[in-house]
Amino acid sequence: MKASWDIFCTVVDNFGDVGVTFRLARQLVAEHDMNVRLWIDDLSAFARLCPGADAEAPQQWCDGVRVCFWPKDWQPVEPADVVIEAFGCHLPPAQIDAMKARSQRPLWLNLEYLSAEEWVTGCHGLPSLQSSGIQKFFFFPGFRDTTGGLLREAGLIERRHGFEQDPAAQRRFLATLGIDPQPGARLISLFAYEHEGLGSWLTCLAQDQQPTHLLVPEGRIIGDVERWLGVGGLEPGALHARDHLTIQVLPFVRQEDYDLLLWCCAFNVVRGEDSFVRAQWAGRPLIWHIYEQDDDAHWAKLDAFLELYLAGLPDETGQALTHVWRDWNAGHDMTQCWNTLKKHWGELTSHAERWCLEQALQDDLTTALVRFYRNWL
């Protein structure tokens, strides 16, 4: 008999939380034959990730997942065998009561945000007895084999390698988005939060002797791009060239197409958690624009990841990447750090692929969750 899973998600940062939970739900269905309900409190964000989805539907089926609206006026439903609170959201009290009343109480998991901090390894998988009398377990995605791993679909790396070896497939995909780069142009993707120093980086790209075609999915960074260009109202399809830089605004694409976009690029700027992980599976150098937290806790997370990621790189190369990441996340002028980074491009490209393959040796997050459930039974 199939196990049933409930995944609860509140939309905090537009698409990140929804993106992770929908990937998880789809993989549970496709690769582990589970029955999954995904509860989302803002379906408009989900509809952007899943073209064809109905932002007004109380429930609908998408890629085998039963996607349900999570209303404020919650009426309890029959709990699943596994209940996941994603990223610190809180279950409705009435649903917790329903879980308590179930003859076979469900496995209750708190799926935490991704972190490379070392303390995570000591907390991963630990139980916490709640006031309801039900144990809740903390499950941490991560980069070490003592954590829950990263979301990665079966055969993902092999599909990327096949795509990379098929220039015709790359051209066909880019053409579906209206992208026609000039020969020899370097493709870079930019998906980021607002950035005060963005103009300095765009100027560097414009002045570089190698042409750059910058692909900007619509989002929060568009306003800074408009200010540098001196234009307003940039919409998907907009194309502007200045010196050696061409900027093209892209429509928001479904998750599978975003992967292909990352695979086509030589360098990717990504934000939050979902695109950050996908950029690592792309095996390309990247900048992570981490979600800023009021207590500056994001700096500890960023530094912890860099400590792991830079292992094995020459000091000078590691320092160059560190300066770029820190200056970017602080909103500083990017001129000096970017020009230094370019000297290490080849080393960083090789290292990104090596890091990807090393991470792929570990179990993926979905497999780790299923194994945890089966061991708990």
Residue 90 tokens read as 């809180």
Q: Which member of 81, 85, 112, 273 is catalytic?
A: 273
Q: What are the C-alpha distances in Å from 80 to residues 2, 95, 263?
A: 11, 11, 37
Q: Supply the angle between the helices 315-330 and 297-309 in degrees, to the nearest 10.
A: 160
246, β-bridge pairs: 213, 241
How far apart (Å, rounded) are the C-alpha atoms in residues 205 and 339?
Answer: 10
**What whole-number distance in Å separates Cα of residue 139 and Cα of residue 369?**
8
Q: Which of 54, 58, 65, 70 is nearest to 8 (CA)?
A: 70
What DSSP assignment string belongs to 112-157?
PPP---THHHHHTT-EEE-TTS-EEEEE---SSTTS------TTHH
- Look up residue 339 and give its two tokens: 């020009």
* Catalytic residue (choose from 6, 17, 85, 327): 17
C-alpha 14/C-alpha 88 separation (Å) is 16
Cβ pair 366, 151 in contact under 8 A: yes
Which residue shows structure tokens 């530094």?
303
153 is catalytic: no
Q: Is 41 a catalytic residue?
A: no
- In the numeric block, the tokens 């992967």 are attached to 259
DSSP 197-265: THHHHHHHHHHSSS-EEEEEESSTTHHHHHHHHT-----TT-EEEETTEEEEEE----HHHHHHHHHH-
Catalytic residues: 17, 273
